[in-house]
Amino acid sequence: MQSYTNHDEKTIEDLLAEPSAEYTIQDYLSWQFDEMVELIRGKVFRMSPAPNSKHQRVSMFIAGKIFQTLEHKKCVVFHAPFDVFLPVKHPKTGKPNTVVQPDITVICDTKKISDHGCEGSPDLVVEIISDSTRKKDIQIKFELYEECKINTYWLVFPKEEIIEIFELNADGKYERKGGFSDDDELASAILPGLKMKVSDVFDMN
């Protein structure tokens, strides 16, 4: 793999050991690591190790239900790994510096879809919370997705078997629509016709 400066090989550990360094999307696209990373405001974030079976099954169930809901409609759903290039730039250089990989991404403006991923803000993202990603998903990505005007953000908690839904209000801020569990039915303006019971999401039988 070639580095962003001198073409010497670097590892993820090398990048993480340079807390003052900031990287760009161009750097990100040049990296060839064995594991996935995200780039948020120029900083490298290591992705969690291979998710456990419950995480995988929850993710596939939600993505499948959304796919069924969107069939024959203009919106498209993608499952991780899938790069989302958000409209965030370095305040001084103006270079784009943010690429994330939500667990599930829904895009209604298909012109944003390229060979690289989603170039711009999607309409809905789903993050499935693990111990290693909790702070990033609940705080860092929450603020990032709000800033980038992603209409709907689902936070899925497999341990607690709860799904929290946030939607942008008239002021462009996330408003909590509720914490859903048990036999609650999930709904979203982005996904009209969605029929998904929370208890079914977490049913491992």
pLDDT digits (tens, 9 = 90+) for 87-117: 999 999 999 999 999 999 999 999 999 999 9
Whether the link from the prior residue into 81 is cis, omega within 30° of 0, is yes
User: Which pTM does this prediction carry?
Assistant: 0.91
Please report, for residues 9, 41, 112, 150, 181, the alpha-carbon distance to residue 14 in angstroms, rounded to integers and kept in the order given.
9, 18, 32, 32, 42
* Strand ranges in 37-110 using DSSP code E only, listed in sequence order: 37-40, 43-46, 76-79, 84-85, 99-100, 104-107
Q: Domains of the chain, with CATH numbers?
A: 12-46 (no CATH), 53-201 (3.90.1570.10)
pLDDT in tens, the chain (205 residues): 333 344 356 788 888 778 788 999 999 999 988 888 999 999 999 887 778 899 999 999 999 999 999 988 899 999 999 999 999 999 999 999 999 999 999 999 999 999 999 999 999 999 999 988 899 999 999 999 999 999 999 999 999 999 999 999 999 999 999 999 999 999 898 999 999 999 999 998 7
Q: Which residue has the tokens 């996935």?
A: 36
Instruction: List residues bridging with 164 in a β-sheet.
Output: 155, 179
Nearest to 120 by CA among 93, 141, 98: 98
Give the span between the Cα atoms of 131 and 23, in whole angstroms: 26
